[in-house]
Amino acid sequence: MSWFLYILECSDGSLYTGVTTDVANRYRAHASGRGARYTRGRPPRALRAVVAFDTRSEALSAECAVKAMPRAAKLAFCEAHADTAHGVLADAGEA
């Protein structure tokens, strides 16, 4: 089973980073208010980045690294992985 690092752009312009095995389902959870507490008050505006990993451990390590990045670096990371993010929601019929 693959694990995914994802970055959401929230309604207030902030970036939320998380990991999951099902990005489309997790996006729906965040959008409906059933996701993380952080996104309940600022629902996602867009899925900005998705990166696949073989293990949960790898995904969590990457999440920690991304969360430590300054905003400009996170935005550059998002640009580098934008095509994958768009494809995930398009495949789920949500783009």
What average pLDDT does the structure give for the chain?
A: 92
Lowest mean pLDDT among 6-15, 20-29, 84-93: 84-93
Residue-wise pLDDT for 15-47, tens only, equals 999 999 999 999 999 999 999 999 999 999 999
Using alpha carbons only, what angle is made at residue 38 by residues 92 and 14, rounded to the nearest 5 degrees?
A: 80
CA distance 73 to 26: 24
Structure tokens at 3: 């694990």
Position of tokens 């902030």? 14
CA distance 35 to 13: 17
Structural domains in the chain plus CATH codes: 3-91 (3.40.1440.10)
Q: What is the pLDDT of residue 46?
A: 94
